[in-house]
Amino acid sequence: REKATILDRDGIRRALTRIAHEIIEKNQGVDRVVLIGIRRRGVPLALRLAEKIEQIEGAEVPVGFLDITLYRDDLTRLGPQPQLSRTEVPFPVTDQTVILVDDVLYTGRTVRAALDAIMDLGRPRAIQLAALIDRGHRELPIRADYVGKNVPTSSREIISVQLEDIDGQERVVILET
């Protein structure tokens, strides 16, 4: 059941514009800054941020992708463990500031897996995290440096992020299950 619209098309655009400015400000420009989107919806978000940064700063930011999928170990009945399935990072990360981009930040387990994957690729100068939505309920000591919107959720609610590139429309809504 659809409960509420959190961001409409303009809301998403404005949040990404603000985050692009924050990235530039925090890093005093984007020299040695790279973006890595977490599939699936982190990818269009990372591409849009790169485009906005280029418009604002006149500098190109490389964009890579990680595919991290939930994997449930049915034998041991452990909780879902995010696992890396594919990496498309066609540039070195060593001495770069890597900004991870995802649509929703929840327990932090996906980001933890992404940190592992990035550190397997090299030795970044720093890793930062951008999330369109932070829905709370962290289970690890992980926080986002850039947040589109904080949305405290109950365990019965999930966030539906709909992006033109993937979903044919552009909005973020809370669903009650």
H or E segment at 65? strand 63-72
* Calculated CA dihedral for residues 147, 133, 61, 145, nearest 10 degrees: 30
Q: How far is the CB of 32 from ligand 5GP (least distance, A)?
A: 26
Residue number with CB closer to ligand 5GP (82 or 124) = 82
Q: How far is the CB of 82 from ligand 5GP (least distance, A)?
A: 6
Nearest-angstrom CA–CA distance, 127 and 34? 10
- Of 69, 67, 110, residue with least CA distance to 89: 67
- Of 99, 94, 97, 37, residue with least CA distance to 68: 37
Residue number with CB closer to ligand 5GP (20 or 133) = 133
Q: How far is the CB of 138 from ligand 5GP (least distance, A)?
A: 8
Q: How far is the CB of 5 from ligand 5GP (least distance, A)?
A: 14
Q: How far is the CB of 44 from ligand 5GP (least distance, A)?
A: 12
Query: CB-based burial of residue 110 (10 Å sphere; 0-12 exposed, 13-18 middle, 19+ buried)?
Result: buried
H or E segment at 57? helix 42-57
Residue number with CB closer to ligand 5GP (24 or 100) = 100
- State the residues that interact with ligand 5GP by CB under 6 A: 38, 82, 102-110, 135, 158-161
Residue number with CB closer to ligand 5GP (30 or 66) = 66
Residue number with CB closer to ligand 5GP (24 or 38) = 38
Residue number with CB closer to ligand 5GP (46 or 102) = 102
Q: How far is the CB of 31 from ligand 5GP (least distance, A)?
A: 28
What is the b/e burial string over 125-154, where b = at least 16 CB atoms within 10 angstroms of the residue's CB?
Answer: eebbbbbbbbbeebeeebebbbbbbebebe
